[in-house]
Amino acid sequence: MVLGFNDNAKVFIDTQFPSNLSEFLGITPQKLKGLVEDHMQRKMEPNYAELVLENEVSIASFYTGFSFRHYVGKPNYAITVFLSDDDILSKDFEGMMRRIAYELLPKREALNFDDIFGRYYEMLKNEELTPYWEETVEGETSKVLIKDEKEHLDTEEEQIEDKIKEEIPTEPGGYELLKEFEAIKEKNQELEDMLEEKTGKLRELTNKYTELMEEKNQNNEQVEKLKAEVSEQYIKLEKWSQQMADLNENNAKLLEEIKELNDNISLRKDELEVKEKKIENLKKELKSVEEFEKQAEKLLKEKEDLKRINLSLNAEIEKFATEIKKLEEQIERSKNENSIHIDSITSLKLEVKTLKDKFTSEKEEKEKIKNEIFDLKKEIKVLRRERDHYKKIVKDNNLL
């Protein structure tokens, strides 16, 4: 498996070979808790561990290191191998896992990564990988000595010291040289201890500095994210306020248009009443004339049409009044629930637009009716002229 670690040192299974390995062995991130603790207790530097999990599964794992200043291959990953009971690991096994981390993890984003991962598994299984003992420290590469190499160097140093102790006393002034050699050796050991201590402190401070810088970057990102969210909320609030102002303005316009329409309807009613009286008078005056009766019937028919149109307009007005009332209720609810139902404003705006379109259509119908009334006035004027003409004929010929 390739294990990854998030910012809170929580482990997750990044990839595995075979693909059903975790399901087959019953491995979950929770069951890898002991491995995570083992790796993290070693100052989060590159380290190797062998242990047995809670479900009696044996594993060997290499952690690549937490810091971008000290790692192998790619920081904050682990190469983990699951072992059978009869597996006997060679002394170079850690080095081979280190090589996998060094060569494989930088290719993590490759499209054929799973195939490459499978090939490395086969090479590890057949012990075909050469050990890799180098680590990236502060942009440079340093070599890590394994236990056998350290023991070999210590043995060589002891042999050299024994040889020096045997040869120096035989020379003139040998004992003074031997004492001087011992003093130099003690001083050298002291300096090595101090160097090791300083190196440890320096590495520890570097790790702390890296952790603090990463924490600072995370906090900066969080602050920027919060600033962006606040700015976004202000923009939304400003847009909503503008939308509410537009809605209120449109509502006022609609109310004004309804008022004008009601005034026009009242005026039209008065005009129709006057016309009805005129028609009645005209009908009485022109009873004896067949042509006048036809004209009167035509006017009556037009009057009925106008009545129907008037009734239709009244129904439309009532409908619009109801819709305006509903619209006012919706606006009131929107004011009270603006932080939750911002999306309803768009729907309300569409309804207002639809209503406005209806009023536009109604306005066109009103213009049409005005034109019809104007034509009717023309016809009445003609009828009056014809009536006066017929009256003159009746009077001149004494037809009464």
**Same domain assignment for residues 242 and 124:** no
- Residue 35 has, within 13 A of its CA and on its CB side, a CA count of 35
β-pairing verdict for 140-143 and 134-137: antiparallel
Largest distance between two CA atoms of the chain: 179
State yes or no: pLDDT of 16 exceeds 90.
yes
Q: Which of the given ranges, 44-48, 114-118, 335-339, 390-394, has the highest pLDDT on average?
A: 114-118
Report pLDDT digits (tens) over 34-59. 888 888 876 678 899 998 888 788 99
The percentage of the chain sitting over the pLDDT mark of 70, rounded to a whole number, equals: 79
Number of domains in the chain: 2
The confidence band for 345, taking pLDDT boundaries of 50, 70 and 90, is: low
Contact 82, 121 (CB under 8 A): no
* 170 has pLDDT over 70: no
Please tell me whether residues 137 and 282 are part of one structural domain.
no
Residue 212: inside a domain: no
Q: What is the pLDDT of residue 280?
A: 79
Spatial separation of the C-alpha atoms in residues 164 and 168, rounded to whole Å: 6
Say if CB 65 and CB 72 are below 8 A apart. Answer: yes
Residue 249 lies in a domain: yes
What per-residue confidence (pLDDT) applies to 149? Answer: 47
Do residue 261 and residue 359 come from a single domain? yes
Are residues 241 and 127 part of one domain? no
Q: Please give the single-letter amino acid code of residue 50.
A: E
Let me know whether 123 and 255 are in one domain. no
Residue 100's pLDDT is 92
Same domain, 106 and 254: no
- Enter the tokens of residue 222: 């969080």
Per-residue pLDDT of 111-161, as tens digits, reads: 888 889 999 999 998 888 888 888 776 554 444 444 444 455 456 556 555
Domain end marker among 144, 164, 190:
144
Q: Are 63 and 70 in contact (CB under 8 A)?
A: no
Indicate if 39 and 138 belong to the same structural domain: yes
- Asked whether residue 167 is domain-assigned, the answer is no
- Residue 29 included in any domain: yes
On whether both 252 and 372 belong to a single domain, the answer is: yes
Which residues fall within 8 angstroms of residue 341, CB to CB, at 6 or more apart?
Answer: 333, 334
pLDDT average, residue stretch 222-235: 83
Classified as helix, coil or strand, 215 is: helix
Query: What are 378's two structure tokens?
Result: 């023309």
Per the domain annotation, does 150 fall within a domain? no
What's the pTM? 0.38
* pLDDT tens-digit readout, 86-105: 888 888 899 999 999 999 99
* DSSP states of 229-243: HHHHHHHHHHHHHHH
Q: Which domain holds residue 105?
A: 2-144
Residue ending a domain, choose from 144, 165, 192: 144
Tell whether 195 is covered by a domain: no
137/237 same-domain check:
no
DSSP-assigned letter for residue 47: E
| 21: in domain | yes
Q: How far apart are CA 205 and CA 209, in angstroms?
A: 6
Last residue of a domain, one of 125, 144, 163: 144
Say which amino acid occupies 274. V
Q: How high is the mean pLDDT of the chain?
A: 78
Question: Is position 12 within any domain?
Answer: yes
The yes-or-no verdict on residue 283 having pLDDT over 80 is no
What is the chain's length? 400
**pLDDT score of 349 more than 80:** no
pLDDT band per the 50, 70, 90 thresholds, residue 173: low
